[in-house]
Chains A and B, each alone.
Chain A
Amino acid sequence: MNAANLKFNNDEAREACLLRPGSTNCGGCGMSAGLTMLGRALQSEDYSLVIPACCGIVTAGAFPTTSYSVPVLASTFASAPAFASGVAAVNDLNQDPEQKPARVICWAGDGGTYDIGMATLSAAAERNENLIYFCYDNEIYGNTGGQRSSATPAAARTTTTPGGKGEGKKEIIEIMAAHHIPYAATLSIAHPEDFQQKVRKALDITGFRFFLIHAPCPTGWKTEPAETIELVRLAVRSGIFPLYEVYDGIDYRINAVPDGTDPARYYEKQKRFSGQEIDLQAAKDSSQKRLERLRLLAGLV
C-alpha cells in the first residue's frame, strides 16, 4: 500500500483532539495527557510533528493508520531537531503571508533529549531554528522497558540501575537557557491553564522554543495509573518540579510557588523508590535551594 495514496478526512478529528481514539498507550501515561493538552493548545494551528524513537512514535500505531490528526515524521533517535530544521526551513521559504504559519514541533522523550539527541538539540538551539521542542520527561527509557537515562532521578530503580541510580538528573532547562534561546519553560499536566497559556505564548515567538513536561510512566515508575496527575501536582507543590519560564536565557519567571508539600508524599507513591533510602531532608533542602536560586534569577529576592 502506498502511503501517499491514503486520504483521511481529518477535520472533525482534529477539532476534537491531536491524539485520536485508538492508541495503545498504557493507562495513566503522562505523555498521552501531554499530547492531549498540546492538541488543545494548538487547536486550529497548522503544524506537523517530528518524533524520534520513543513512545511518542509508537503512539502513531502501525502503518497505514495513525493516531495523530496532524502529519508526523519519524526521525532517527538522535535527529529530531535536525529533521525538524529541514522541515522548518522549507516551511519558512514557502510561507504564504496570507495563511497561518506552518509550524514544526518536535515531540521527544528524555532519552532523545538529555542523552542521544543532546548534540543535535544543542546545535539546533544554538542556530535558533524556528521550531518548538517538547521533551516529555518520564525519566527513563520507557519504550525499551525502563532503563536509566540522564533524566532519571537519584535513587530510582531502573532495569539498568537495579540498586537505584547513584547520580541525580541533568538540569535540562538550565542547559537550554544557557543557549540564550528566546523561550524555555516547564509544563505540568496538573496545571492545564498554565500549560495552555505558555504554549500559546510560545506561538508568538520566533526561533527555538523549548518545553519540558514532567510525564509519569506508571509502567516504568510502578505507580497507580490513576495517580499520574496527582504525582505531577505533588512534584510541583513540593518543589521537585518547579514551574517556570526563561526568556532569552536571562529573564526568569516563576509560574507556581511551591506550598511546602512534603516531598515524601511524591516518593512514597512510586515503587521505583521502594526499598531505597531517600534522605528526605536533603531532598527538601535541595528543592529549597533551587527555588531560592530561581527567585533570585526572577528578581524576587
Chain B
Amino acid sequence: MNMQLVTGNHAAGHSMSLAGEANRNARGVVCGIYPITPQTEIVEYVARFPFSKGSVIPVESEHSAMGVCIGASINGARSFTASSSNGLAYMAENVMVASFYRLPIVMAAVNRTLGPPWNIWADQGDSLMFRDFAWIQFYCDTSQDVADTTMLAFRVAEDPRVLLPVMVCMDAFIVSHTSMEIELATQEQADRFLPPCEIPHHLDSAHPVAAGGMAFPQDTLTHRLEIDETMRGVPAIIDEHREHFREEFGREVSGAVSAYRTEDADRIFIASGTISTTLKDVVDEWRERGEKVGMVKIKLFRPFPASEIRELCADVKKIGVLDRNYAAGIGGIFCHEVRASLQGQGDQMVQGYLTGVGGGDVVPGLVGEVVEDLTERSTAGDPVWKGIES
C-alpha cells in the first residue's frame, strides 16, 4: 500500500500526473497551466513531473490554459489542468468550448469564493457557475476522495460513450491544504486502469473537417441533443468504472450520492463537499438522542442525480439542504436542484440553508442549528442564512 500524508492539492496533482504518464504509449500528454491560490500546488506538481512523453505549457492566463488543453485534446493527447475562483471565471469561455467540442479534459477546481471582496476561502460558487456548460462535476470531501475521483474522472471522460470533460471539485484549504494519510495510486496501477486516450474526432489531415465552424439551428440542436443523451447515460457509466476502480485499487470510490441513516428517517439533510463530513457527525449525535434524522451526500452535481434523490427522499416529509454557495436572487444552488428534482413527486418540504458562504467554518454547532430549525419548521420559506455574527 502506497500510504502517504498529503494534501488535496497533492492528491489531485499526483493522480493527474500519473494519468498523463499512463498515456506515454499513445499521443502523450499536453497541459496548459496557470497559477491561482489555492490550487497553485496542483499545477506546480504537474510542472515538475518527469513525463516520458509530455509538454506542460505555462501560459499567461487561465483562458489560454484551457485553450492549450483544447488544442492538445483535439489533437489526440490526454490533457488536464486546474483552476479556482476568478481564474475559473476568466477561463469560462474556453471551459464551455471544451465540452461543446466533446473533449475529455479533466480539471481540478479548488472551490474558492469569487471576488470581490477578495477572499481565498471555500465557496462553491466558482465551479457551480458552469452548471449549464456540459461538464460532468464531482464534489469531493477528502484528499482520498480527490485522489480516487481524479483517476476515475479520466476513465469516465474518455469513455467513448461519454467524451465530455470532467471537473473534480474540492473545498479550498479544508481539502486543498489539509494533510491526511491516504492511499495514492502507483504508476503501474494507473497504467492498468487507464486505457490509451483515444479522441475519435481528432484533427486528421487525411480527413479534413472544419471543427467548430458554423452550424445551422438543426445541426446545433442535434449537437445539444447528443449531449443530453450522453448525460443521461453518465451515472450508469460512472458506476461501471467505479467497479473497475475497485478491481484495480481494492477500495471503493464513492458514487453520485451516498445515503447515511436514511432508512427510517423522517428528516433528511443534504450536503456536498466537506460540510457532508460534519453533517455525518451531527446526524450521529441526533440519532443518539433518538431523533430519526438521516443525510445524503451529493457528490455528482452534473448530471444531477435526480432519480436517486427522489428515491431516497420518497418517504420523508422534511428535507433540509445545506449550501456553501449562493445564487443571487434564488438562494442555494443544490437546494434549488433538489427542489426541482422532487417537484410533482409528493408533498415534501424542502428548506434551504446557506452555510459557510464566503468560506466561514461550518462547525457541528452550526449544523445542529440547521437540524433544529428544520425540526421545528412546518413550512418551507426563504433560504436561511447561517453563520451571521450579530
Contact = CB atoms under 8 A, between A and B. Distances in A.
A301 interface: no
A278 B207 CA distance: 50
A73 B32 contact: no
Given A66-B209, A93-B30, A58 B214 contact: yes
A2 B67 CA distance: 23
Interface size class of A (residues with CB under 8 A): 35 or more
Interface string B63-85: 11101111111111101000000
A195 to B, nearest CB: 23
Interface string B29-72: 01010000000000000000000011101011101110111111
A263 B138 CA distance: 62
Max chain A CB contacts within 10 Å: which of B68, B77, B210? B210
Interface in A108-125: 119-120, 122-123
B60 A64 contact: no
B67 A82 contact: yes
A88 B57 CA distance: 11
A188 to B, nearest CB: 27
Contacts of A68: 208, 210
Nearest to A14: B208
Contact of A72 (B30, B94, B213, B216): B213
A76 B67 contact: yes
Contacts of B77: 86, 89-90, 93
Contacts of A46: 205
B211 A119 contact: no
Contacts of B59: 82, 85, 123, 127
Contacts of A86: 30, 32, 57, 67-75, 77, 79
Nearest to B69: A86
Interface stretch (B112-120, B196-204, B261-269): B196-204
Contact of A4 (B54, B64, B200, B222): B200
A74 B211 contact: yes
Contacts of B57: 85-86, 89, 127
Interface string A61-87: 111101011111111101101111111
A6 B204 CA distance: 11
B211 A120 contact: no
A8 B72 contact: no
A61 B210 contact: yes
Given A78-B63, A120-B61, A6 B54 contact: no
Given A85-B57, A86-B32, A7 B207 contact: yes
A88 B77 CA distance: 11
B97 interface: yes
A149 interface: no
Nearest to A45: B205
A71 B203 contact: yes
B64 A89 contact: no
B336 interface: no
Contacts of B32: 82, 85-86
A48 B203 contact: yes
A93 B208 contact: no
A197 interface: no
Given A8-B207, A70-B208, A120-B61, A62 B30 contact: no
B27 interface: yes
Contacts of A92: 55
Interface string A236-249: 00000000000000
A202 B313 CA distance: 66
A50 interface: yes
Contacts of B214: 57-58, 60-63
A120 B63 CA distance: 9
Contacts of A78: 63
Contacts of B93: 76, 79
Contacts of A264: none
Contacts of A144: none
A75 B72 contact: no
Contacts of B209: 3, 6, 8, 64, 66, 71-72
B8 interface: no
Contacts of A10: 206-208
24 contacts: A3-B201, A46-B205, A57-B210, A63-B213, A63-B214, A66-B208, A71-B205, A71-B209, A73-B211, A76-B63, A76-B93, A79-B94, A82-B64, A83-B70, A86-B70, A86-B75, A88-B71, A89-B72, A90-B28, A92-B55, A93-B53, A120-B61, A120-B67, A123-B60
Interface of A: 1-4, 6-8, 10, 46-48, 50, 57-58, 60-64, 66, 68-76, 78-79, 81-94, 102, 119-120, 122-123, 127
The 10 A-B residue pairs with the shortest CB-CB distance in the complex, in nearest-first order? A86-B71, A82-B67, A74-B212, A123-B60, A86-B72, A60-B210, A82-B64, A66-B210, A63-B215, A83-B71
